[in-house]
């Protein structure tokens, strides 16, 4: 009996050792990829790859990649391994131009996590690949055109008026304001209004469900990091549906809101000048209508003979992307901009003077045309996005075997591409004294004299951020409203310089950012 027990134990241990060995071999299969190609690279560490700390959520990705960027300063590219996938970090702006524009067909896809089709919340414009991405981008582009964005201006203006009212009330109690909280609620209200057609009043309602969903969507918990690790390490899970990548509560809430809103609008033939209205038109006609067109006429003349527009699930995914991308990115940029203006009173005064001067020509009213005339504010926003890019890197995936011109570098299909945006933005070769906030870097003359592919806050090429115009308009509206009425300054406890949060998808300060708001004697509004 004892001998049998010992044999069983030995067999179990042998099976475990064999399983671990096979598991190990599976993981390290591509760890020698760059060595075999004789490319300078950062060695991989089992099972996380070349960059252990950011994969574990313990270091801001921008700083981790910046360490590699600076260590190999004389190299045009550096090999990496993300968990078990070969990737290459591109330092040369000319190679970046090839990837993003000239040879785009080889690098069309984002390096996004593949999920099962039933996980429809992840099947949106950002994560779609190949021809599916092309088709959807073509359909959605008119919804983000300048004319369409302009029609949403009055919705943004309404939220900015409430933002000013809320700041007024907060300052009466305490001049130090948690700007991330307030600005997140402002952008939530704008997005909910422009995307869902709903007035959520997150600025006034501290228990707003939309605000909770927005915060939760960017809350990087251990479970989310584990899902990212598993999906990246074992692509087979994209073929087997066992759970949603996104939190089920968020999925059910967003889907319920979209479904009920669409059904109500279609039943009562309601049309609004918002993003969801454009998607509903796509649902009905497969393309966004031009002015004066009727959906029935378009369907009648369609060569398809029947509706082939977006489904409820596709609309939900696109609206959720519009919601999350527009909420966090805009709030962060406004926050960092106010922080830098608080640190640099001379620049803040110059912005204030411009706001006052422009609005004087429009009888004190902030309108779409007035914002377009605030060109120095554009420079301030550009410099903010240089210092604090929303996403610290761009990523692409090689779709065909590719050899870089005038180089011995040749990469295979599915190899990942990393473009270190944060590092390029802080390279003294392109931006002298890079940690100094200087909006004059973005004067027309300085922009002409700089390589166009070293400043990439919105990406570049066919996959450039489709919502850039809308985002900039929200930012300028908030800045004009706040700087026109308040002087912004630091609290004694504000970090200078700011430290970055480690476990975040976007660039964020490590702790809540408090700024002091003081009413101006001469108000622009």
By CB atoms closer than 10 A (0-12, 13-18, 19+), residue 470 is buried
* 188-206 CB burial, b ≥16 within 10 A, e <16: bbbbbbbbbbbebbbbeee
Closest CA to 70 of 420, 435, 436, 497: 420
CA dihedral for 435, 439, 440, 441, sign (positive or negative):
positive
Q: Which two tokens stand for residue 177?
A: 């304001």
- Sequence-ordered alpha helix ranges (H) in 219-367: 222-233, 248-268, 275-285, 295-301, 312-343, 345-361
Domains annotated on the chain, with CATH: 28-122+391-454 (3.30.43.20), 126-292+304-389+457-524 (1.10.630.10)
pLDDT number for residue 215: 85
The binding site comprises: 465
Block mean pLDDT (10 aa), the chain, length 525: 66 85 90 94 94 93 97 96 96 97 96 83 89 88 76 89 95 93 94 82 89 86 85 83 82 90 86 80 60 45 49 88 87 97 97 96 93 97 98 96 90 96 98 98 95 97 92 96 96 94 92 94 53
* 63 three-class SS: helix
Q: Which pLDDT belongs to residue 336? A: 98
pLDDT of residue 304: 36
Maximum C-alpha span of the chain? 97
Q: Determine which helix (DSSP H) or strand (DSSP E) holds 177, and give its type and residue range.
A: strand 176-178
CA distance 522 to 525: 9
Integer angstrom CA distances of residue 15 from 1, 24, 157, 342: 21, 14, 66, 62
SS3 percent helix, strand, coil of the chain, rounded to 5, is 55, 10, 35
Q: Is the dihedral of CA 324, 223, 62, 89 positive or negative?
A: negative
Q: Do the strands 514-519 and 176-178 form a parallel or antiparallel pair, or are they unpaired?
A: antiparallel
- The 10s digit of each residue's pLDDT in 5-14 is 667 888 888 8
Task: Give the pLDDT score at 214.
Answer: 86
pLDDT (0 to 100) of residue 184: 94
Residues 6+ apart with CB under 8 A from 131: none
Measured CA to CA, the distance from residue 46 to residue 28 in angstroms comes to 7
Q: Are strands 486-490 and 176-178 parallel, antiparallel or unpaired?
A: unpaired
Q: Is the pTM of this model over 0.85?
A: yes
Annotated binding site for heme: 465
| CA pair distance 330, 280, nearest whole angstrom | 25
């Amino acid at each position: 009996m004892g001998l049998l027990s010992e044999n069983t134990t030995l067999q179990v241990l042998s099976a475990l050792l064999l399983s671990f060995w096979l598991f190990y071999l599976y993981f390290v299969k591509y760890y020698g990829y760059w060595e075999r190609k004789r490319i300078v690279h950062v060695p991989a560490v089992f099972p996380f790859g070349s960059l252990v700390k950011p994969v574990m959520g313990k270091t801001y990705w921008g700083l981790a990649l910046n360490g590699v960027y600076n260590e190999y300063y004389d190299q045009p590219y550096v090999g990496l391994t993300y968990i078990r996938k070969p990737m290459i970090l591109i330092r040369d702006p000319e190679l970046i131009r090839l990837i993003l524009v000239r040879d785009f067909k080889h690098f069309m896809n984002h390096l996004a996590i593949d999920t099962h089709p039933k996980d429809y919340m992840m099947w949106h414009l950002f994560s779609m690949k190949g021809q599916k991405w092309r088709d959807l981008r073509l359909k959605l582009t008119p919804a983000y055109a300048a004319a369409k964005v302009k029609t949403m201006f009055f919705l943004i203006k309404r939220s900015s008026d409430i933002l000013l009212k809320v700041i007024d009330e907060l300052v009466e109690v305490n001049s130090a304001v948690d700007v991330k909280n307030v600005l997140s609620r402002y952008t939530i209200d704008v997005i909910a209004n422009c995307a869902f057609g709903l007035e959520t009043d997150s600025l006034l309602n501290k228990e707003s469900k939309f605000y909770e969903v927005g915060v939760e969507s960017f809350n990087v918990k251990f479970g989310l990091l584990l899902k990212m690790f598993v999906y990246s390490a074992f692509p087979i899970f994209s073929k087997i549906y066992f759970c949603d990548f996104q939190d089920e509560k968020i999925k059910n809430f967003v889907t319920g809101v979209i479904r009920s809103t669409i059904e109500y609008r279609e039943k009562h033939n309601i049309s609004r000048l918002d993003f969801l209205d454009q998607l509903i038109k796509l649902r009905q006609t497969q393309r966004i209508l031009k002015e004066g067109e009727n959906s029935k006429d378009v369907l009648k003349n369609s060569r398809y003979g029947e509706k082939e527009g977006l489904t409820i699930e596709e609309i939900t995914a696109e609206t959720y992307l519009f919601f999350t991308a527009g909420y966090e990115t805009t709030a962060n940029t406004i926050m960092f901009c106010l922080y830098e203006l608080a640190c640099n009173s001379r620049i803040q005064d110059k912005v204030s003077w411009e706001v006052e001067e422009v609005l004087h020509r429009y009888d004190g009213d902030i309108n779409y045309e007035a914002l377009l005339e605030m060109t120095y504010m554009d420079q301030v926003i550009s410099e903010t996005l240089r210092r604090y890019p929303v996403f610290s890197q761009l990523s692409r995936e090689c779709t065909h075997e590719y050899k870089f011109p005038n180089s011995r570098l040749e990469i295979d299909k599915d190899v990942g591409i990393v473009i270190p945006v944060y590092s390029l933005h802080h390279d003294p070769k392109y931006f002298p004294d890079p940690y100094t906030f200087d909006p004059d870097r973005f004067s027309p003359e300085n922009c002409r004299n700089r390589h166009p592919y070293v400043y990439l806050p919105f990406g570049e090429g066919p996959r450039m951020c489709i919502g850039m115009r809308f985002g900039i308009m929200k930012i300028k509206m908030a800045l004009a409203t706040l700087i026109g009425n308040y002087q912004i300054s630091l609290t004694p406890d504000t970090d200078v310089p700011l430290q970055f949060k480690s476990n975040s998808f976007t660039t964020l300060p490590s702790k809540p950012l408090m700024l002091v708001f003081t009413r101006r004697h001469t108000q622009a509004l």
